[in-house]
Amino acid sequence: MRTNQIRLAAYPVGEPKDSDFKFTTEELPELGEGQVLLRAIYLSLDPYMRGRMSTAKSYAQPLSIGDVMLGGTVCEVLESRSDKRHAGDIVLAFTGWQTHAVADAQHTRRLDPAAAPISTALGVLGMPGFTAYGGLLEIGRPKPGETVAVAAAAGPVGSAVGQIAKIHGARAVGIAGGPEKCRILIDEFGFDAAVDHRSQTFEDDLASATPDGVDVYFENVGGHVASAVTRRLNRFARIPVCGLVAGYNDTETPTGVDRLPGFMRRVLTLSLTVRGFIQDEFIPTHQDAFLNDMPGWVRDVSVRYREDIVDGLDNAPEAFRGLLRGRNLGKLLIRVGEDPTN
């Protein structure tokens, strides 16, 4: 069996270019004992991948040049040499940017297509949903009546943050780029207010949308949005920091005003809690609760989700660039191959 792959050809400087990727085809090895042959159906594209395409110090090892681009996938089992998986099973795996792969069965999780659309295992019921759940509830700890602000609010993490905040009795204020996304925040995701960060009146709009200030700022973009929200923070506000996508493509250390002393002064005088995290660290403490709560919330529509599905593995690099620019609406997935459950 051959697999079509996209590999890292060079560490991108700034936005990843086509030449930073390399398309390859490879013959897969024979299955070993306990292994499965997988056909990718959906590939998840996520901002964290940009961090792995860099040698800058991070929580995870960077990709090496020549590595297949990494990523979570939903796959169909074509062949199995494990008694835990059978041909035709749909599984969650981490096979990256390729059409087929051989994996250890124990590194896959079986999905039940009857319980939820299989693509949601990469979104609202998967890593992005868990990121929202763990970061908001463990670090943000919203109390009834408090205000939770979240940027990239129309994205898979942000939209879940706002809706989980509402379930916990907080007021949800979403920040997104453009009037269409803002409309969806209100009409579809049920945010209490939506603010367009591309608007000239952004800061005033944010102030109007947060009359009682902000108690939790779920940080996943950084940049000018973060600066504006920081000025609205209340005493004892909590800031789960789960991403800084606005700066992921930055190539130079920004100059001008050094905002760090002012930020730290605010941390001090407002008794702020700023806490970086990646979702893995909450798996031991929160995964059971997540798997208990979230499917029910999705079923009873207290949590809605959107998907943005792009067809064809070849389109992954361009889709990934769009993701970093905030172009997509909802969870970005590549449909690598036919979805047999659809």
Q: How far is the CB of 223 from its own copies (least distance, A)?
A: 8
Q: Identify the CA nearest to 138 among candidates 150, 147, 130.
A: 130
- Going residue by residue from 76 to 115, which x/- string records binding to its own copies, judged by CB under 8 A? ----------------------------------------
Q: Which residue matches tokens 């109390």? A: 143
Contacts of 245 (CB under 8 A, 6+ apart): 47, 50, 152, 220, 221, 222, 324, 326
Q: Does 146 bind its own copies (CB under 8 A)?
A: no
Please identify, among the stretches 13-21, 95-103, 196-204, 255-263, the one whose residues bind its own copies according to the rule CB under 8 A: 255-263
On whether the CB atoms of residues 53 and 74 are closer than 8 A, the answer is no
Q: How many CB atoms lie within 10 A of CB 203?
A: 17
Cα–Cα distance between 172 and 248 in angstroms, integer? 26
Question: Which of 70, 270, 309, 324 touches its own copies (CB under 8 A)?
Answer: 270
Q: How far is the CB of 41 from its own copies (least distance, A)?
A: 31
Amino acid at 95: T
- CB-nearer residue toward its own copies: 114 or 260: 260
Cα–Cα distance between 168 and 166 in angstroms, integer? 5
Q: Does 258 bind its own copies (CB under 8 A)?
A: yes
How many residues bind its own copies, per CB under 8 A? 42
Q: Does 62 bind its own copies (CB under 8 A)?
A: no
Question: Which of 96, 162, 243, 326 touches its own copies (CB under 8 A)?
Answer: 243
Q: Identify the CA nearest to 304 among candidates 200, 193, 190.
A: 190
Q: Identify the CA nearest to 319 among candidates 64, 63, 132, 47.
A: 47
Please identify, among the stretches 87-95, 185-193, 263-271, 291-299, the one whose residues bind its own copies according to the rule CB under 8 A: 263-271
Cα 61 to chain centroid distance, Å, stands at 19
Question: Which of 113, 178, 213, 276 touches its own copies (CB under 8 A)?
Answer: 276
Question: Which of 275, 304, 321, 327 touches its own copies (CB under 8 A)?
Answer: 275
Q: How far is the CB of 231 from its own copies (least distance, A)?
A: 10
- Residue 181's SS3 state is helix
On whether the CB atoms of residues 161 and 150 are closer than 8 A, the answer is yes
Q: Does 162 bind its own copies (CB under 8 A)?
A: no
> Measured on CA atoms in the order 92, 94, 98, 100, is the torsion positive or negative?
negative
Question: Which of 55, 58, 315, 342 touches its own copies (CB under 8 A)?
Answer: 58
Token pair belonging to 182: 């803002």
Q: Does 244 bind its own copies (CB under 8 A)?
A: yes
- CB-nearer residue toward its own copies: 272 or 329: 272
- CB-nearer residue toward its own copies: 211 or 312: 211
Pairing of strands 35-44, 21-27: unpaired
Q: Does 272 bind its own copies (CB under 8 A)?
A: yes
Residue 300 DSSP one-character state: T
Q: Does 61 bind its own copies (CB under 8 A)?
A: no
Binding site for its own copies (CB under 8 A): 51, 56-59, 219, 222, 226, 235, 241-244, 247, 250, 253-278, 281
